Amino acid sequence: MIACAASGVGCSSDTIFQCQTDEQCVSSGVTGSCQPNGYCSFVDANCETGFRYADSAPPGLAGQCVQPQEGSTGVTSSQPGTMSTTGGPSSSETTSAMVGSSTIAGSEESTSSSAGSTGASESTSTGGSSTSVSSSSSTSSTTGGVTCPEFVDEFDNGVVEEGPWTQFSGAPPIISESGDRLRFSVAPGNDAFEFIEMADVDISEGFAAAHLVALPQDDAAQFLLRVFPDDDPDGAVELLVTNNNELVARVDGDLLQFVDLGAGATELWLEVYFSAGVASFSYSTDGNGHIFIGSSAVAGNYSIADVSLMGGSFAPTTAALHVIEVDDFEFCTQPFE
């Protein structure tokens, strides 16, 4: 529950709040509207849509009129970008209070599930699921005429480099597809770092998600879910996993949040999603509910961006044959609704 309104009510400008329902947007006894991007708004007759964002929205949105394409009519909306997996049901993003440019990690998990279809997949591939439009366990959206997720790769046909992926690797490569998984394999004492990339995609209002089933085992080994805009190659939005239990969210090379996953983490669901110039991060260790990590405004143009799955070891690994494995990946140009 927030205690601020869009204008004229005391809500500090360094506090950002993400909502899931209209009932969470309350100011001075007045209930506002939770917009599809997860930020509160209140009635304002001076705005074309009749709504203005609360001060608790991120910079660039706070105090601004909700634009027609974003407009809500007070209907409760769920958070964008909830990943569905075969390891657990889809769940909505966790609501979390944020302080400054980063948030309090490890917020309480949401117990509500995203509504959506669980129908059979529609495949456009001739060689496997890597160009599948949707998966049988996916939560779907038809926002803007697009069904999410638009692209699913279950890495089940043994072919790494097929549309839309481009493989960047050495000889011999450490990347392969085996056992329905994407594998990054580094021999003991060696160091290698490689990736596959989707180029020139529009993720400015969409999301990317990956499900890891074998995590990096030492400090040298890393896995990254990375998105960077073509107009700023030095800028990037990243979720980095290392040392089996460490998760880092970074924006343009700067630390946004560090999460200690604790001992015993064996799987990890990662999500990066974008809305109105803001990148947000979440994760899950069981697939049943995502924990919101944090959000940050981004300067780059993510309507033309590259999405990468990166893995390996930047220094000689101390682990036995080191294997990082990804079970599946999802992408969409639109958020879930």
Residue 201 sits in a domain of what CATH number? Answer: 2.60.120.200
13 with 113, same domain: the answer is no
Peptide bond into 188 cis (omega under 30): no
pLDDT band at 303 (very low <50, low <70, confident <90, very high): very high
Alpha-carbon gap, residue 329 to 241, rounded angstroms: 16
Alpha-carbon gap, residue 126 to 132, rounded angstroms: 10
pLDDT band at 22 (very low <50, low <70, confident <90, very high): confident
Number of domains into which the chain is organized: 2
Task: Answer whether residue 194 is part of any domain.
Answer: yes
Last residue of a domain, one of 56, 77, 98: 77
39 with 113, same domain: the answer is no
- Among 244, 253, 196, CA closest to 221: 244
Distances (CA, A) of 175 to 131, 247, 311: 19, 22, 8
pLDDT in tens, 76-127: 333 333 333 333 323 333 322 222 233 333 333 333 333 333 333 333 333 4
246 with 202, same domain: the answer is yes
Amino acid at 260: D
What are the backbone dihedrals phi and psi of residue 220, each rounded to the nearest 5 degrees, phi first?
-80, -30
Task: Answer whether residue 112 is part of any domain.
Answer: yes
Task: Answer whether residue 89 is part of any domain.
Answer: no
Number of C-alpha atoms within 13 angstroms, CB side, residue 265?
A: 24
> End-to-end alpha-carbon separation of the chain, Å?
21
Q: What's the average model confidence in pLDDT over 303-307?
A: 95
16 with 152, same domain: the answer is no
322 with 248, same domain: the answer is yes
pTM recorded for the entire structure:
0.61
Task: Answer whether residue 209 is part of any domain.
Answer: yes
Per the CB < 8 A criterion, the answer to whether 51 and 70 are in contact is no
Task: Answer whether residue 44 is part of any domain.
Answer: yes
68 with 114, same domain: the answer is no
Residue 148 or residue 330, greater confidence: 330
Q: In what order do the strands lie in the sheet with 51-53?
A: 33-34, 40-43, 51-53
Task: Answer whether residue 248 is part of any domain.
Answer: yes
| DSSP-assigned letter for residue 129 | G
pLDDT band at 291 (very low <50, low <70, confident <90, very high): very high
318, two tokens: 């101390």
Alpha-carbon gap, residue 35 to 37, rounded angstroms: 5
Alpha-carbon gap, residue 219 to 44, rounded angstroms: 51
Expressed as residue numbers, the domain containing 322 is: 107-332
41 with 117, same domain: the answer is no
> How far out from the chain centre does Cα 175 lie?
23
pLDDT band at 69 (very low <50, low <70, confident <90, very high): low
User: Does 181 score more than 90 pLDDT?
Assistant: yes
Task: Answer whether residue 101 is part of any domain.
Answer: no
Alpha-carbon gap, residue 96 to 42, rounded angstroms: 20
What are the backbone dihedrals phi and psi of residue 182, each rounded to the nearest 5 degrees, phi first?
-85, 125
User: Does 18 score more than 80 pLDDT?
Assistant: yes
Q: What's the average model confidence in pLDDT over 170-177?
A: 88
